[in-house]
Amino acid sequence: MTAPASPSYAALRKHLRETATLASVGSLLAWDQETYMPAGGAAHRAEQQAMVAALAHQRATDRKVADLLAACESDGAVMADARSAANVREARREYDRATKLPESLVAEFSRTCSLAQEAWKEARQRSDFGHFAPWLEKVMALTRRKAECYGAPPGGELYDAMLDQYEPGMRAAQVEAIFGPLRKRLAALVSRIAAAPRRPGDRLLSLKAPAAQQQAFGEAVLAAMGFDLKAGRLDTTAHPFCESIGPGDTRLTTRYTTDSFLEPLFGTMHEAGHGLYEQGLPKAEHFGEPLADSISLGVHESQSRMWENFVGRSREFWTWALPVARRCLSPLLDQVTVDEIYGAANVVEPSHIRVEADEATYNLHIMLRFGLEREMVAGSLAIKDLPGEWNRRFKDLLGIDVPDDRRGCLQDVHWSFGLVGYFPTYTLGNLYAAQMWEKINADLPGLRAGMARGEFAPLKHWLNEKVHAHGRRYKASELCEVVTGSPLSADPLLRHLEGKLAPLYGL
């Protein structure tokens, strides 16, 4: 694919690539902070992060970008090509957003969040919300200032301006319109399961395995999924994530609890799903341009959920993976059958920690956070009231008490990072994944049989071609229609959950 021969378009691409190169230094600093940085480095790291963020912001908001964009927008050849037109459209969107924030606010936000993360780590360890509260107060105040700079859309609310960073075009009211009915049907399913005549055994959920053995198994699964370990890494952190540094460098982290080997595996597969998306984007040619960037966090999450839930919790996956796991975790699984491990992977049980939640209750955890952060941004929920409100609503939604803040409102890293408006994208990801999965199985009728033989390449290639190759050429809602033929709906996810869980629970 050759780009239109416009000097302005070429200069725009070069500028975007260089800005992304600078920003990727910040990504590397962030990755290091979570993996190997000693605690004593926190204050200096905050200065480094603030400086890189300010420099990247300067470049992204340079007047020159406005001139280049204007020149491209009036160049018929550039705008006649669907791919370069999408690049210009999305670069315009980013420029307009970036120029709405003063540089001083960007630097203050970065510095505050870096320190807030350190406070959160300590608060979580000690289960002491009071230690984190003043920092959350600061992060939320700065978040509101950012949202005010972006401005609420007509007829919308301040929270929409935050959500729009992660899921462009989506509004809080639309999210609520999807979440409302989903909550009803999910809650009904979860309560039918609670009263079910039989349950899969959960003995395997507490099988202990040394971290080194778990890592060996995780790496074998990564290789089968097609994650390129020569262009990526797998390390351990308190909270698993995927950080894309640049072309040829996509880093995953996971955590190995010693009281279960399944949960860390699903965490690894989840992050690897994100990593495959990053590795599948056309970065060699387009790094830094929207054409090599992911569409939205919801679409990103659809890729991780696809591998974690639709692959990792399937009977076919375990038909292949059990013998591999037996070798890596020997002699732990010598007596275990595929049925037993498939059942254990699909146990539904309300629990406290979002990242450990099963596929059915997971979305209830998201609805809780969405409601709370929406109210914190609006100012109708005071920070000091967060733990109490969290615990009360958690009990309402999931039917169990929260024993302490470590297993309550301190469990997630997001708010300390200033990631407000981010949580709903997890559930949107589940919905996109389910809808794509139905289409994938229609397109590839032999997929499931192949998975039982460890053949995951057809799935990876389908995703590479239908989703990854486009970068941000389409909006999330358009991609959903282009790829699956219909607009986003909650029905495929509910069909998937009911279809899988009904036989396991004898419903």
Q: What are the residue numbers of the active site?
A: 271
Which tokens sit at 261? 């080997």
Q: What is the full DSSP assignment across 285-308?
A: HHTTSGGGS-S-HHHHHHHHHIII
In angstroms, what is the minimal distance from the CB of 241 to Zn ion?
8
In angstroms, what is the minimal distance from the CB of 304 to Zn ion?
4
In angstroms, what is the minimal distance from the CB of 419 to Zn ion?
12
Which residue type is seen at 404?
A: D
Residue 143 or 304: the one with the smaller Cβ distance to Zn ion is: 304
The label of the residue with tokens 């690897």 reads 272
Distance (Å, rounded) from C-alpha 211 to C-alpha 209?
6
In angstroms, what is the minimal distance from the CB of 300 to Zn ion?
7
Residue 46 or 170: the one with the smaller Cβ distance to Zn ion is: 170
CA atoms within 13 A on the CB side of 460: 22
Residue 87 or 279: the one with the smaller Cβ distance to Zn ion is: 279
Tell me which DSSP letter residue 385 carries. G
Residue 287 or 307: the one with the smaller Cβ distance to Zn ion is: 307
In angstroms, what is the minimal distance from the CB of 189 to Zn ion?
23
> Which residues are registered as beta bridge partners of 236?
254
Which of 247, 295, 264, 263 lies closest to 436 in space, CA to CA?
295
In angstroms, what is the minimal distance from the CB of 417 to Zn ion?
14
With 0-12 / 13-18 / 19 or more C-beta atoms within 10 angstroms meaning exposed / middle / buried, residue 154 is: exposed
In angstroms, what is the minimal distance from the CB of 32 to Zn ion?
20
Residue 8 or 304: the one with the smaller Cβ distance to Zn ion is: 304
| Length of the chain in terms of residues written | 507
On whether the CB atoms of residues 469 and 479 are closer than 8 A, the answer is no
Distance (Å, rounded) from C-alpha 254 to C-alpha 208?
17
Residue 135 or 415: the one with the smaller Cβ distance to Zn ion is: 415
Q: Which residues, 6 or more positions from 69, have their beta carbon under 8 angstroms from its beta carbon?
A: 12, 88, 91, 92, 95
Tell me which DSSP letter residue 417 carries. G
Tell me which DSSP letter residue 219 carries. H
On whether the CB atoms of residues 221 and 268 are closer than 8 A, the answer is yes
Distance (Å, rounded) from C-alpha 142 to C-alpha 162?
12
Residue 242 or 325: the one with the smaller Cβ distance to Zn ion is: 242
Distance (Å, rounded) from C-alpha 227 to C-alpha 233?
10
> What does R_g of the chain's alpha carbons equal in angstroms?
23
In angstroms, what is the minimal distance from the CB of 124 to Zn ion?
19
Which residue type is seen at 98?
A: A
> Which residues are registered as beta bridge partners of 184?
none
Residue 13 or 270: the one with the smaller Cβ distance to Zn ion is: 270
Which of 169, 53, 140, 170 lies closest to 419 in space, CA to CA?
140
Residue nearest to Zn ion (CB): 304
Would you tell me which residues interact with Zn ion (CB under 5 A)?
A: 304
Tell me which DSSP letter residue 411 carries. S
In angstroms, what is the minimal distance from the CB of 374 to Zn ion?
20
Which residue type is seen at 121?
A: K
Q: Which residues, 6 or more positions from 240, have their beta carbon under 8 angstroms from its beta carbon?
A: 252, 253, 254, 255, 267, 268, 270, 271, 355
Q: In Å, what is the CA distance from 220 to each residue of 166, 327, 491? A: 32, 11, 34
Residue 95 or 277: the one with the smaller Cβ distance to Zn ion is: 277
